[in-house]
Amino acid sequence: MKKLYIMVSVFLVVSVLGCAKANEKILLIFSYHPEYSWVIEETRGVESVLSKRGIETEKFYLDTKRHTSAEWKAKITEDAITKIEELNPSLVIVFDDNACELVAKKYIDKALPFVFCGMNAEPEDYGFPAKNITGVLERSHTVESIELLKKLVPDVKKVAIITDDSPSSKAFVARAKKTILPIEIYEIYTTNDFGLWKEKIKQFQSTVDGIGLFLYHTLKEKGQEISLLPEDVLKWTLENNKLPEFSAIDYTVRDGALCAVATSGYQQGRSAAEIALTILAGATPGNIPIVCLVKEYPMVNLKRADELNIIIPEDVLEEVQIIY
């Protein structure tokens, strides 16, 4: 299927935005739970647009980071569909891959318009675009994040990347394996087992010069069904890792990792809301190109740099956001 999306830094909203009716209802279906940092930022982005228009919104959370079983996904999908039928919204915005897979995919070419954001997979993986579905892609700045790490630590020659085994991670890993990265990649390792995660972090201490941290939100203790708190996983990781880390997500650096050239959940949500307004004003979703936001947010955690005895070069200080 032809990829009907465009690469832009900012989605320019057409002038019909002002025509959206104030009595419209939009249902927001999130893949994850409300306390998740990425969800908080996505929500801020959506509300920064919709709250000014007086448009009624309602939120529904699939909670598929903490609950990853097939049984949970089947039940929560039924609940989401029931919610759609009861609310009868004018439009649905779905956030991140699981909501695309579990909910939006079931409405392909139906009357109800959908806008997605935070999608790591390729649109055609879910059968998008469709006449009633368009949205915003999320693409990690892996190359740029590695280049930032090399500016901070020029001696880094070989790195490993570790991530959980979630749908978002699968899409990230597939893309990373097809990308020419500016450094030797020793291994890209995925697991949902926290015990195996710990073993790998310890192994990497003697095999690589740096570690890439992507997602760590579906890791579980052996035999447990509920995922560990991501902040606990990251805390253990940083306490037991003495190598410089790079990420591609802002909250990983805010929570303690060394650096990232990050994407923005806020901009994902904001762009999705802007597209939604154009649809409510009369535009056909299938005629709106899928958007890929390419704006970069370079970040360095100063506390972590101090812990790792890394001196941030002056030219890097001028171009990054410093997290204290």
**CATH number of 53's domain:** 3.40.50.2300
Query: What's the CA dihedral at 214, 218, 224, 228 to 10 degrees?
Result: 70
Same domain, 70 and 165: no
Any idea what DSSP says for residue 227? P
210 with 191, same domain: the answer is yes
pLDDT digits (tens, 9 = 90+) for 9-33: 334 344 344 455 557 899 999 999 9
What pLDDT is stored for residue 4 in this prediction? 41
272 and 162 share one domain: no
Whole-Å CA distances, 170 to 18, 32, 121: 39, 17, 8
Count of domains in the chain? Answer: 2
Do 278 and 210 reside in the same domain of the chain? no
Residues 172 and 307 in one domain: yes
Query: Which domain covers residue 240, as residue numbers?
Result: 142-263+297-323
Task: Check whether residue 171 and residue 48 sit in a common domain.
Answer: no
274 and 131, same domain (yes or no): yes
Instruction: Give residue 52's pLDDT.
Output: 87
- Dmax over CA atoms of the chain, in Å, equals 60
Same domain, 245 and 105: no
pLDDT score for 23: 74
Calpha distance 116→28 (Å, rounded) = 10
What b/e readout covers 271-303, taking b as 16+ CB neighbours within 10 angstroms?
bbbbbbbbbbbebebbebebbbbeebbbbbbee
Question: Residue 229 corresponds to which amino acid?
Answer: L
Regarding whether 149 and 29 lie in a shared domain, the answer is no
Predicted pLDDT of residue 13: 43
Tell whether 42 and 118 lie within a shared domain.
yes
Pair 303, 159 in one domain: yes
List phi, psi (to 5°) of 308: -95, 5
Beta strand residue intervals within 9-123, DSSP E = 25-30, 56-61, 91-95, 114-119
Residues 202, 206: Cα–Cα separation, whole Å = 8
**Cα 176 to Cα 136, 144, 231, 277, distances in angstroms:** 20, 12, 25, 33
DSSP 8-state secondary structure symbol assigned to residue 313: P
Q: What is the pLDDT of residue 21?
A: 55
Positions in the chain short of pLDDT 70: 1-22
Q: Does 24 share its domain with 74?
A: yes
Residue-level pLDDT at 283: 97
